[in-house]
Amino acid sequence: MMESEKTFLFFDVECANCFGGVGKMCSFGYVLTDSSFNILENDDIVMNPESEFDWFLLKNGGTSLAYPKSFFLSQKPFPFFSERIFDLICEKNRQIFAFGALSDVGFVVTAFERYRLSIPQFCAFDLERFCKIDGEISGSLEKRCSLLKIDNSDLTAHKSSDDALMTMRLFREFLKKSNLLAETALSSRKELFFSSSDFLKKRESKMQKKARQKRRNESRRRDSKTIHFD
């Protein structure tokens, strides 16, 4: 049986808030291509976050949102789409990309955790760290596309599927500029892959560090009460 052709999945997540370190996902946008960047699918999976929206997203009339708040709230919640998202990111012979991969991987992990669903084991290649040349190409996704003269005038700001498409265009053009093949880039920068396990380990490390700091602070407070100035 012939092995299935490698496919590329570029994805972006928007959250209503990340209070408590948990991303309340409100959209999962993606672009699925073949290894030559021909688009096979492009969709924005919009959902009800079942949580409040961070005030920052709603300021200036909600210009940090691609859709009105009411549209998000009228959609089905994450569990309705979880199987589809799971299949997208766990498909065999699929390479996954994101701009700021560890954060987006974390949003996916915490969304599954939040609803007590099985956490998908997957990893994504970080294009924020890869598509960069010090002193020449850096900054936000939009800025880097501009520096590479990529026309994104057909895209909507903060729309997850459009941000995913922008990410794909950035990678494609950066490879051209660098005279690299995708497979060469992936095999030469193994340290830029971030997995669900990486996110969980980093979160555990931060929690342990925070707990140690809390114990030290409590110890200092107890010690300060024993000091006398007789």
Angle at alpha carbon of residue 69, lines to 65 and 74, rounded to 5° = 130
User: Does residue 2 have a pLDDT over 50?
Assistant: no
pLDDT at residue 213 in the model: 83
Structure-model confidence comparison of residues 142 and 218, the more confident one: 142
- List the beta bridge partners of residue 125: 97, 193
Chain segment 14-73, per-residue pLDDT in tens:
999 999 989 999 999 999 999 999 999 999 999 999 999 999 888 777 678 999 999 999
What phi and psi, each to the nearest 5 degrees, are found at residue 162? -75, -35
Residues 72, 39 contacting (CB under 8 angstroms): no
- The reported pTM is 0.89
pLDDT band with cut points at 50, 70 and 90 for residue 226: low
Crossing angle of the two packed helices 101-114 and 196-225, in degrees rounded to 10: 80
Q: What is the mean pLDDT of residues 83-112?
A: 97
Task: Give the mean pLDDT of the chain.
Answer: 91
In the predicted model, is pLDDT for residue 1 greater than 50?
A: no
